[in-house]
Structures are given as C-alpha cells and as structure tokens.
Structure 1
Amino acid sequence: MRRWTAQAAIVLFLAATASSAEERAVAMKASFIFDGERVEIRRDNRDALRFVTHFVSASELCLNACIAPMKAADGVDTVDEAQVLAFLETKVGTNIGLALDARASQDRVGGFIPGSVMLPPRVVDPRNLGRDDVLRALGAREFDGVFNYADAKHLLIYDQGPATDDAGLLVRHLIAAGYPPEKIKYYRGGMQVWSVLGFTIEEGLG
C-alpha cells in the first residue's frame, strides 16, 4: 500500500510539473492596447526562419564583431522575453511605459516588436539640439533648465540583438540626461533572439 501511495505521489507530482510547464509555455504571449489598437503577440511566427536570417547582421555602430555586455548600465535591469511580454501588457498597455527600438529606420523596416516605437541613440545624444524635446515627449518635466523624471515613462529598450550596442548607447545617453536607471529595462536579446523564438514580428516602420 505504501509503495502504491509513493508511486501515485510521484505520478501526481510529474503531472503537476508537466501542467505547470505547459501553463508557463502558454503564458508566453501578450495582448494589450497600443495606439488605440489591440496588439497580439504569440510564438507562432511561420516566417521565423526568414526573420532570423535577416536579423543576423550587426549594426553600423558595432561592425567589429562586438558582443554587447549583459548590463547596459548600472541600475538598469536586463530582461528576458517573459519580462518583455509583461512590460508590454502592464506598462505599454496602460500607457505608463514605452518600448523603444534603438535601431535606425533602415533596420526597423525589416521587422520590429509590436507595440514599440523607434528612437535611435543619436536623437538623445547630448549634441542633438532637439534632445530636450524628446525628453519632454517621454514625460519629463522641465523647470529652469532642470528635468524632473517623476512622471516620466517606464522604458524598455532593445535593438538588433547581442551583436549590436545601439540599445546600450541609447540607455547611456538617457542616463546621462538624468533619466532614472530604475525606469529603464534593457532587452539584450533584441530582434535576433526574438525571431529565433518565433514571436510575432511586425514589418514596416510602424
């Protein structure tokens, strides 16, 4: 009787583990409102191979086969795909956050994460005369030349992937402008890992 009970317990444990794993796999999707439209993200991209081939190249900012560090800057969390999906639903979907694509337009047109907008690093470069306008658009408030970021958007920043550093440069420019690191998330996997995992990709500039 004890042996049967132990075997039954093992079977129930394995079934529960399998069920839990299945629930986690099913949870790898997102549904949220962005720009007035419903956005659905799933892992069922039938064109994944085409995108993987397209995103394998590095950007102009990283031509020498460089590899981006795991951390973009001190105080900035590096996130995985599950956390990206959660950010899209809880931050972008509630209009308190933005997902920023740090690539240039020629790279973005080949595909991007749905619900994200383009913001190349040069736009917030300290030498750009329009940088302050961009910071205001992100929710920062200026008084006598000093920015307050209390109401600024939460940001998730990505680029082509680990073989590029556009996202890291954008993060560093923002922090140099005073943006709070705790309000920034860095998705190092970028389009390279996103496409390999078969997630939904939108084409065009968006």
Structure 2
Amino acid sequence: MFYKYYMTVLLFSSLLLAQKIGFEYEGIPVETIDAKGNSVYTIVKRDIPNVCENIPVTNLMLWTGNYAHSKVPEACKSTFVHTLGGHIYPMSIDEDITTYGELEVLAFIKQMQTDDSMILIDVCREEFYTYRTIPGAVNMPFNHFKERTSFVFEFEQHMKDLGVSIDEEDDSLDFTHAKTITLFCNGPWCSLSVTAILALLDIGYPAEKINWYRGGMQEWLAAGLTSTRK
C-alpha cells in the first residue's frame, strides 16, 4: 500500500517537474504596455542559438573560461561580473518566504498573465530597470520601501498597486487583500531585493505572500532567458 502511494506521489511530482521544465523552451507570452499605452507582447523563454546546440562541454571551457580552446562561438557565452559591491546571500532569508529559481519565476510569470493578484517586481533603481529587466516586471525601487517617509507619494502608490489599503486617519495598513509578489534585483550578490523585503516585513506585509528570486538579472541572463533589452 505504501509502495503504491509512494509511486503515485513520485509519478505526480515527476509530471509537475516535467511541466515546469518545459516553460523555459515553450515560451510564455507576456503583455506589457509601451510609452504610448499600446499593448506589446514579448515571448519569454530560454533562447539558445542554433550554433550552440552541439557544443561539447569540457572542464577547461566550463571552469577556466578558456573558450578559445573549446572554440565556443561568441553567441554562446555568458558573463559573470565579480564585484565587491555586494554580498552573497543565503538561499533563505525568512522561513515563510519562498526562494525562487528561474523555472519558478517562469511559472509565476505564466500564472500572472491571468491572475491580477500576482506581481513581479524589479526593485532596482529606475535607470537599471529601464536599461534591462524581466518582461512583465514592474519597477518599485527598494528605497521607496526602505525610506518611505522620504518617498511618501511613491510608497502610497506602491501600496495601492499591491492591494494594501491605507487608513486616512491613522495611516495604518490593511493587508487583507495584499497581492502575492516576487521580487528581484541585479544578482545573488545584490542587496536591494533583500532590503526591500525586510522593509516590507517591517511594515507588516505577509511573508507568505512574498517570493524572492535570489538569482536576479545576472542569473536570468546567464541562463539565456528573455529580457527587455534586445
């Protein structure tokens, strides 16, 4: 009996995993609004150029960056920038907050297309968001949450967009209809998403409605996934 139950659960889990993995190649149509108010559809997927399909993976190429030895075409390379400007963060920053990888973000984006209670949020400053972001993400800079007394108008607008009501008499916040959100910034070393999440927790935003894409733009691009910059 236990064996049959175990195999059923294993089969179900395998089917879910297979379905989720398919997102990266199938592509997800994402609707965004351009500067003129027109709907623009972008297909979000993992874009692997044809020239990259038959490249053998070697230790020298993978671990030393010796692409010339392996004759790796430029179109197949990704860049990882090393910097002292941030810290590597743990996989979990709160027991009630789910940490996402790329496939979970893709699944979130797909569901978000038909569920307006879900929002993907880029918490980088506007110039980074404008330069490049994940299609479908909205910009809510981290400092609008961290320094909310200095960004009163922006903070109140973000709360409204997140389904949080503000009492006009005592400025208390009602999270009854708070939306489920996924936040990200520039990479696993970037502190901005962590700062925004901690600020949201500080004001009482439900932790169970917050997801964190730890990898951010750096790992998104390293995986060859669609961004808003061509």
Q: 1:140: which partner in 2? A: 164
Measured in 2, the distance between the counterparts of 1:85 and 1:56 equals: 24
Q: Mark the CA change 1:21 to 1:100 in structure 2 (over 3 Å): closer, same or farther.
A: closer
Look up the equivalent residue of 1:27 and give its one-letter code.
F
Q: Which moved more, 1:106-115 or 1:159-168?
A: 106-115
Measured in 1, the distance between the counterparts of 2:118 and 2:17 equals: 29
Matched ranges for 1:35-74 at <5 A = 35=33, 36-44=39-47, 52-53=78-79, 56=81, 63=85, 65-74=86-95
Give ranges in structure 1 of 5+ residues lacking alignment: 1-18
Look up the equivalent residue of 1:26 and give its one-letter code.
G
Identity across the alignment (%): 24
Measured in 1, the distance between the counterparts of 2:172 and 2:76 equals: 47
Q: Aligned-residue CA RMSD in angstroms?
A: 2.9
Q: Which has the higher contact order (CA 8 A, sep 6+)?
A: 1
2:138 equivalent to 1:123? no
Report if aligned partners of 2:101, 2:215 keep a CA contact under 8 Å in 1.
Answer: yes
Q: 2:9: which partner in 1? A: none
Measured in 2, the distance between the counterparts of 1:31 and 1:136 equals: 26
TM-score of the two chains, using structure 2 as the length reference: 0.67
Report if aligned partners of 2:140, 2:158 keep a CA contact under 8 Å in 1.
Answer: no
Measured in 2, the distance between the counterparts of 1:142 and 1:23 equals: 40
CA deviation map 1:143-162 (0-9, x unaligned): 34221112122111001111
Measured in 2, the distance between the counterparts of 1:177 and 1:170 equals: 11
Matched ranges for 1:169-180 at <5 A = 169-180=195-206
| 1:117, distance to aligned residue in structure 2 (A) | 1.1
Measured in 2, the distance between the counterparts of 1:73 and 1:153 equals: 18
Measured in 1, the distance between the counterparts of 2:17 and 2:181 equals: 29
2:96 equivalent to 1:100? no
Report if aligned partners of 2:21, 2:103 keep a CA contact under 8 Å in 1.
Answer: no
Q: 1:112: which partner in 2? A: 133
Measured in 1, the distance between the counterparts of 2:16 and 2:161 equals: 41
Look up the equivalent residue of 2:157 and give its one-letter code.
D
Q: Mark the CA change 1:76 to 1:96 in structure 2 (over 3 Å): closer, same or farther.
A: same
Measured in 2, the distance between the counterparts of 1:97 and 1:78 equals: 16
| 1:95, distance to aligned residue in structure 2 (A) | 1.6
TM-score of the two chains, using structure 1 as the length reference: 0.74
Report if aligned partners of 1:33, 1:93 keep a CA contact under 8 Å in 2.
Answer: no
